[in-house]
Amino acid sequence: MRRKPVLAIVGRPNVGKSTLFNRLIGQRVAIVEDTPGVTRDRLYGESDWLGQPFVVIDTGGILFGESDPLLEQVRVQAQVAIHEADCILFLVDARDGLTPADSEVADLLRRSSKPTLLLVNKADNPKHWEDQRAEFFALGLGEPMPISSIHGHNVAEVLERAFARIGEQWQPESTEDSTEESVKIAIVGRPNVGKSSLLNAVLGEPRAIVSAIAGTTRDTLDTPFVWNGQPIVLIDTAGIKRPSRVQRSLEYYAQMRAERAIQRADVVVVVIDGAAGITHTDRRIAQKAAEAGRALLWAVNKWDLKEPPDGNLEQNTPAKNDFARLIQQQVKWLDYVPFVFLSALAGTGIERLLETCLTIADLHCMRVGTGELNRMMQQWLFERPYTRKGKTLKIYYATMASVRPPTIVLFVNAPEIVHFSYLRYLENQLRRKYEYTGVPIRWVVRAAHEERQK
């Protein structure tokens, strides 16, 4: 999926942002709005123009407190638009003429390098327009364009101009939404945890193995195969043995190989020895995978030594629960990582392993929509307000800026007060809501407007 171009509407209250938003989004939103009891999402909408899908943000939908001064509000709106949009639609009001708040926003927009269209709304009377044109032109944002959102006058031209401006600079993100369909799974772990055995167990069954291809480094081996119709590439570090003179530092080399495999993977299977429990090296390897932003899971191998393999390995048992709980206590910061219990030797738990890999690979590139994300953030903030150093946190706008791994950007009033533990709270809510397991989530907290001192 390619990123859609984003238009953001900015302007003082009552200039007609919401009316323009409805126009641009078209019928779909209007239908929702007419349904009693359904409040439409004013902040964020999608539509298409000549077959090109696009997104509209109405920054008037950002929620402010009663006590937030108007100037502060428009500054935040402008900042969000500058950060989010590919083209900004700056709306002013022909009836009011130019106001100080308009000039302030124009300043911010001019200093950013974002393409901006200056739209003079409610220009219902062409006679007045000639007198006003010069005044608005002086804002330094190019030729002002008279429109009437309510009558739809010039609205199609707005889109035409916006797309012309975007076309000059448009760069669809290419790396993040890779067209490659294969899910790359790396099997990593300490020596002797059973990586080779696991690899054999995975590939041993009649699956469509294409061929084994040496990885980009001599330390990994790539094996493509298809499982349940899904192309998978296994990146394996197991088979390659080091010369004997380095046997002493086997753990060290295992770690290096693991790190290289992690760099190339979507999903990292951290194999640990269920009979031995977790070690320092296991933790380090998992930590590396999380830091690299990969989806990851614990594959607890040799479980046959703990419980007879004839019992169903998929079933929860007290022993498994205890084991998982113990690890979660020892590695608190990775408590979102799921467990799969295996016996590579007996060949049990393998289907569950692959299933879990694909589930977390999906979550890894799942996008939570901006409208929904904002509604949830407001709800969670409301349920647990946050005050520190005499300031109360406000979240003006939230967006999942990228995936693989999911990265959430929060525009707030005071980034310096946001303690790690509060992000942790938000993250837990998010994880509960989406059953977001096995995927590290990154948080970026930004000031919603520039420091004025600067």
Residue numbers at the binding site for ligand GDP (CB under 6 A): 11, 13-19, 60, 121-122, 124, 148-150, 189, 191-197, 238, 301-302, 304-305, 343-345
Strand-pair category, 230-236 with 145-146: unpaired
Q: How far is the CB of 284 from ligand GDP (least distance, A)?
A: 16
Cα separation, 101 vs 118, in Å, equals: 14
Q: How far is the CB of 338 from ligand GDP (least distance, A)?
A: 19
Q: How far is the CB of 238 from ligand GDP (least distance, A)?
A: 4
Q: Which long-range contacts (CB under 8 A, 24 or more apart) does 284-288 make?
A: 284/255, 285/188, 285/189, 285/190, 285/255, 285/258, 285/259, 286/331, 286/334, 286/337, 287/334, 288/258, 288/259, 288/262
Q: How far is CA 419 from CA 215, 235, 329, 388, in A?
A: 41, 38, 22, 9
Nearer to ligand GDP, 305 or 417 (CB): 305
Cα separation, 105 vs 155, in Å, equals: 22
Nearer to ligand GDP, 42 or 364 (CB): 42
Q: How far is the CB of 71 from ligand GDP (least distance, A)?
A: 16
Cα separation, 120 vs 92, in Å, equals: 5
Q: How far is the CB of 427 from ligand GDP (least distance, A)?
A: 32
Nearer to ligand GDP, 59 or 399 (CB): 59
For the sheet containing 442-447, what is the strand order? Answer: 395-402, 407-412, 442-447
Nearer to ligand GDP, 43 or 55 (CB): 43
Nearer to ligand GDP, 101 or 412 (CB): 101
Nearer to ligand GDP, 98 or 345 (CB): 345
Q: How far is the CB of 360 from ligand GDP (least distance, A)?
A: 22
> What is the Cα 299 distance to its own chain's centre?
26
Nearer to ligand GDP, 313 or 409 (CB): 313
Q: How far is the CB of 388 from ligand GDP (least distance, A)?
A: 32
Looking at the DSSP bridge assignments, the partners of residue 348 are 343
Cα separation, 237 vs 185, in Å, equals: 11
Nearer to ligand GDP, 122 or 449 (CB): 122
DSSP assignment of 108-169: HHHHS-S-EEEEEET---HHHHHHHHHHHHTTSSSS-EE-BTTTTBTHHHHHHHHHHHHHHH
The residue written with tokens 């294969």 in the block is 182
Other C-beta atoms lying within 10 Å of the C-beta of residue 41: 18
Strand-pair category, 116-121 with 87-93: parallel
The kind and range of the H/E element at 44 are strand 44-49
Q: How far is the CB of 104 from ligand GDP (least distance, A)?
A: 16
Q: How far is CA 282 from CA 36, 47, 258, 320, in A?
A: 55, 48, 11, 18
Nearer to ligand GDP, 299 or 357 (CB): 299
Q: How far is the CB of 310 from ligand GDP (least distance, A)?
A: 14
Nearer to ligand GDP, 350 or 398 (CB): 350
CA dihedral 62, 64, 68, 71 (to 10 degrees): 10
Q: How far is the CB of 122 from ligand GDP (least distance, A)?
A: 4
